[in-house]
Amino acid sequence: MPVKPIERVHVGDAVFTQLKNLILGGEWAPGTRIPAEHTLKEQFGVSRVSIRSALERLKSLGLIEARQGSGTFVCLDSRDSLFDAIIPVYIQGSRDMIEILEFRLAVECEAARLACLRMDARDIGRLGRLYEKMRQAVQDPDEVARLDLDFHLQIARLSQNRYFYQVEQVLRDILSANFRKVIDAIGPDIGIQYHELILAAFAARDSEQAYNQMKTHLQRTIDTIRDYQTAAAKEGQDREGFNA
């Protein structure tokens, strides 16, 4: 059997995947009360932050629900909820790449404007550290894609509009696949360049500039992807003509 390279996995993602599989595999049936945070922390041997992050993602996908005074339970229709949310992950094609970016263009510009108005210096510092990690990881496409997505998710969270953040959490698996495809197609340079400009707008507390930089960032990505797809299609046609 051929040996496959070991993929580096973020701790929070690994916890989320295991918990999700417990639900979808039926080991945690609908209506089951899941272990408390501190119990999961001990079982997984990870921080409470990682456990909370995984639970939040499961809640956003409609897999679990918190009941006041009773604990957290697997939802009765959990498998249907997840099925509806993740179908597009497995069928993303060239058109999907553009449509997902267009969706982000509609949501993330306003999220950036609101985040600029509502964040504090510590929030800017956290985003700055994500930016630096992304800049240092340019030779690792998987890590760049993960940090890129996290940067945008944090902006949605900092908008303090729960719907921006929850929608992107529900779509997180779809977005994750999309970010990786974008980096495969055009590399990380556009993202890194515009993250720096967006951070500068945040630091200057210029909400309109934050909106405009996010808009330019996403529109330029869309335009570059379209150019890439056109060139790839033309190259395919040229090869067919050569082989005819």
Q: What is the pLDDT of residues 191-238, one digit of tens each?
A: 999 999 999 999 999 999 999 999 999 999 999 999 888 887 777 666
Band of pLDDT at residue 169, cut at 50, 70 and 90:
confident
User: CA–CA separation, 43 vs 51, rounded Å?
Assistant: 10
Mapping DSSP to helix (H, G, I), strand (E, B) and coil, where does residue 171 land?
A: coil
Domains 11-83 and 92-232 share a fold: no
The third-level CATH classification (topology) of the domain covering 92-232 is Four Helix Bundle (Hemerythrin (Met), subunit A) (1.20.120)
Q: What is the mean pLDDT of the chain?
A: 84
Paired tokens of 193 = 């360049």
Of the candidates 94, 91, 90, the one whose C-alpha atom is nearest the C-alpha of residue 232 is 94
The domain locations on the chain are 11-83, 92-232
Phi and psi at residue 33, to the nearest 5° = -85, 125
pTM of this prediction?
A: 0.64
Q: Hey, what CATH class is 11-83 in?
A: mainly alpha
Q: What is the DSSP letter of 33?
A: B
Which pLDDT band holds residue 160 (cuts at 50, 70, 90)? very high
Helix and strand counts by DSSP (H, E) for the chain? 11, 2
